[in-house]
Chain A
Amino acid sequence: MRSIGISLLSFMLTTVVIANAYYQKKQFYPSVVYITKSNPSMAVIYIQAFVVILMFGKLMNRIFFGQLRTAEFEHLMERAWYAVTETCLAFTVFRDDFNPKFVALFTLLLFLKSFHWLAEDRVDYMERSPVISLLFHLRVLSLLTVLGALDMYFVQHAYLSTITKGASVQLVFGFEYAILATMVVNVAIKYALHTVDLNSEMPWENKAVFLLYTELIMGFIKVILYVLFVIIMVRIYTLPLFAFRPMYYTIRNFKKAFNDVILSRRAIHNMNTLYPDATAEELQNADNVCIICREEMVTASKKLPCNHIFHTACLRSWFQRQQTCPTCRLNILQTNIPTAAPRREERPRVPPQPPNPFAAPNLFANPNLFGRNDNANPFAGMNPFQQILNPNEQNQNAANQAPGQAPGPSAPTGGDQNNAQSGSTSNTQTTPNNTIPPMFPPFPPFPFMPFMIPPPLPPEHLRRLTEDELKRLEGQERENVEARIQCLRNIQIMLDTAILMMQQYSAAASFSTITSQVPPPDRSSAASAEAASRETNAPDTNSASDPGDAAPTTSSNANDPQFSATSSADPENNNVEMSTSASPEGPPEDEVRKRRLQHFQRQLEQQQ
C-alpha cells in the first residue's frame, strides 16, 4: 500500500514538474533545458526514475520468480545493503566521473546483481523442494539466458570503451559484469546437475563430486578476476577498497572448495583402499538401513573398521565434513593401525608390504637363532609372562596362539602366511624389550598392558644365547634402531587408539539402548589395568584368555583388532560388550547431566 502511495506521489510530482516547465517555456527543448538546470526539478525526476526502476524490478520479479520466499527476500536485502555500501565506496574513487549517467549505470548494475542473486537462490532451492514445476524450469532457463546475454553485452561494451577511450569507470563495470557472468555459468551448471538428478530414478552419487569441482573451478576463475582487477586498479587509480569484501569472500570460498576437494579425495581414497565392501550377510545383520540417509542399503556399501556399515556415497559426503564414524565417532584417520587388519582379510595371500617397519629386524625372522624354536612362528613362546608364569611346556602351546592372533582378529583360519604376518606384527612389541637384560625383575610394570597390545616378547632363552647372539639381538645396525623407534611410535598410536576406543564406548553407550553410564576413558583403562594385574597374578587364567576364542563372541565389534584386544585384556569378564562395560558404581559425574541422560533414556524407552 505504502509503495503504491509513494509511486503515485512521485508520478504526480513529475507531472507537476513537467507541466510547469512546459507552461513556462512552451516548447520541448527549452523545457528540457529548464528542467535540467533546475535542481528541485531534477531531484523529482531522479526520484521518478528510481520509482520506475523499482516498478520495473517488481514486474521482472513477477515474471521470473513469482512470489519471493521470506528467506530469499532477507538474503536479497542483506546482499543489497552491502552492494550499496560498496557502490558508495566506488563513487569516492571515481568522483571525477560522477554524473547522472554514472549513477544510472551503477543502479542498473545493482539491479542486475540482485537478479543474479535471486537466480542463485532459486536454483539452490531446487534441491529442497519436492515439486519442481514446468514453470520453474521455464523461468530459470529464460532468466539465465537473459542475464547471460546482458552480462556478455556489458563486458563487451566495457572492453570496447576501454580500448577506444582509455581507462575509465567502465573498467569497474566490465569487471563486475565478468564476475556476474561467471555466476551465471555457475548457476547454469548447478541447474543442469540438479535437473539431471531430479529426472533420474536412482540417486545420482557423483552429483556431489561434480558440484564440488564446479565450485572449485568457478571459484578459481573468480579469484583470478579479482586479482587482475585489483592489480589494474592499483596501477591506474588507487586501491579499490570497494572490491575487498567480495574479494575476501571469494578467496575464502575458493579455499573452502579447495579443502573440500582435498578432503573428498582423501575420503574417496580411504574408502576405496582401506574399507571393505559390506557383504550381503553383514548387511542383513545390520538391519540394512544406512543411518545417514535412512534408506535401505542395496547399493554399494562400505564397512568401517568399527564394523558400522553405510552407503558408500553417504559415507563419502560425511567424510568431507568429518573423518569419524557417524555412529561411534571413531576417528578414521587415526585408526590406520587397526585398519591393517581388514586389509589383510581382503587379500590374505599378499605378503607384507616392503616398507613394513615390522619386517626390519630380520634377526627375528630367523627361527634358527632361537635354538629349539622350529615353529613356523618364530615368536612362539616368547611371551615373558608365559615364560615366567608357565614354565611347563603344555601351557605354552595354547599361549603361542595368543600373540599371533590378537592383532589379527576374526581370522582363525589364518594360514601360515597370516601367522607369519601377525607374528611380525607382534614383533613390534618385541623389539623394545630386546634390550631388557636377562636379570630384569620378573614383573615389569608394562605401561601398555592395560591396552592389551600382545604382550612384549623377549626371546625365551636369553640366558642360553651366546654373547654374540645377544649382540645381534640387541642390534646396533641402523635398521634395528629404526625399527625400534618405529615400534615405539606404533605403541604411541595404539595408546591413542585405545583412548579413542574408550570414547567410542561412551559414545555408543549414549546412543544405543543402554541403561547405565559408561566410565570415562581414564577410569576404564585403570580398570583394565587392574584386570591385567589380576592376569599376572593368576597364571591359570592367563592361558585361558585366548583372544581368538573370546573376541568373536564378545561384541559385534569383534572384527576390530582393538576390540578383540580389549576383550582379551579382561580374561575374567569375557563379555566386554559395550553395554556391559558400564560399571555399576559409575564415574563421579556431574549429577545434572546424569539425570538429564536418564531422563532422555526414559523418553526413548517410553517411545519404544
Chain B
Amino acid sequence: MKKLLVLLIAVVFGGQMYGQTYNTFEPSKTQFMIRGYGHTGFEYMDSGDETESTFLGLAYAPIFLYKHSDRLMFEAELEFVLEGNQLETGLEYADVMYVLNKNITARAGKFLLPFGTFMERLHPAWINRLPNAPLGYGHDGIAPSSGIGVELRGAFDLGGPTLNYSVYATNGPRLNDGSDEPEEAGMLRFENYEDTNLAKAYGGRLGLLPFSDSSTEIGFSAYSTSDTGEQDSEYEDVGAFLFALDFSFVKQISGLGGVIDVKAQYNNSNVDTATYFELEDDILEEYSFDNQSNSFYGQLSYRPTMASSDFVKKLEFVGRYSDFNAPEGAEWEEKSVQYAFGLNYWLSWRSVIKLSYQTTETEGGHDGDGLTNTDGLFVHWAIGF
C-alpha cells in the first residue's frame, strides 16, 4: 500500500512537473487537470438508549486527470479522511485508458467497478443526493466497488437507443475465513491489492438506453470468481457469484415543472457454502450457513428547475428506500430497512448543502441480536471543483 502511494505520488508530481514545463499558452499535447471534491458535515444519531452527535472531519479527494492525446488518458483519485484522530489515506482509483476504436476503450490499473451504477457513477459526495450511501455499500457492503485489473468498455449507437458494455478481469475478492475475525466469517473482502490465490474475478455490465432522449437506462451486471480463499487452504475453492440490476430515469417534465430523477439498484451475492468455526464456551464449534446476501435501494428526487423563484429553482427533494439482508446463521446475520428523506440546496452544479433525516431498523448486525431503531439527522456540505 505504502509503496503504491509513493509510486503514485511520484507519478503524479513527475507528471505535473512535466505538464507545467511544457504548458505554454497554446493548449499543449499533454493536458493536465486537478479536480476533486471535499465534504464535511454534522450528524446527530439516536438509537434508543444511545445518542451521539458529531461534526464530521473533512474528507478531501483530489482527482488528477492527464490527457496525453485524443486516445490516451490517465485518471487517479486520492482520498484523505479523518477517522477518529487519524488521517486515513486511500487510493480510490488510478488507471490508464486508451481508446482503441470508436466502440472499444481499454483500461488497466485500479478502477471503479461497473457493478451496478452506484459505486462507479453516483457515490461521490457532490453527485449523491443524500449524505450517505444506501444500505449494502461501503465497509460491510456486498457490492464490490473497485478492482485491480484490466477492462474493455464502450458503447454502440443503435440509431436512437444506445447500448453500452464493459467486461473486466480483476484480482478477486478474499474470503474472510474467520481465523482472525470470527465474527466476520464468510464475508467477502473486495479491497484486495494482492491476490491471495490464482483465480481472478471476471465480470461485466451491459447497459441499454432504450429511448433516443437518453432518459432511461437499465443495466445488468455480473461478477464471478471460482476461488476466494487463501491458496492451499481448505477455503481455496469457495467460489462466489454476484449480480446486480440497475435502473436510472432522468428527465425534465414540464407538467411537473422540473427534473425527475429515479435511481435504483439491486445487488445479490452468493458465496459457496463452507464450514466455519466459532469459539463457544472455550469449545471450537463448527457451523455453516447458506451464504446469500442481497440489498436494494430506490431513490426518487425532484428539482423544480422551472420555478420562477431563483431560490426554489435550486432546491431538491429526495426520498430513498434501502434494505440489506445478510445470511441467516452467519455471525453477521442482519436484516435492515432504511428510509431517508432529504432537502438539498444547490449552490452550483457541483456544490450542495444537504439536510437529511433517516430512520433505520436493524435486526441483528454487528451490534447485537435485538432490534435497533436508529434515527439520524444530517447536515452535509459537498463541493466539487
| Binding between chains A and B | no
Mark A residues whose CB is within 8 Å of B.
Answer: none
Mark B residues whose CB is within 8 Å of A.
Answer: none
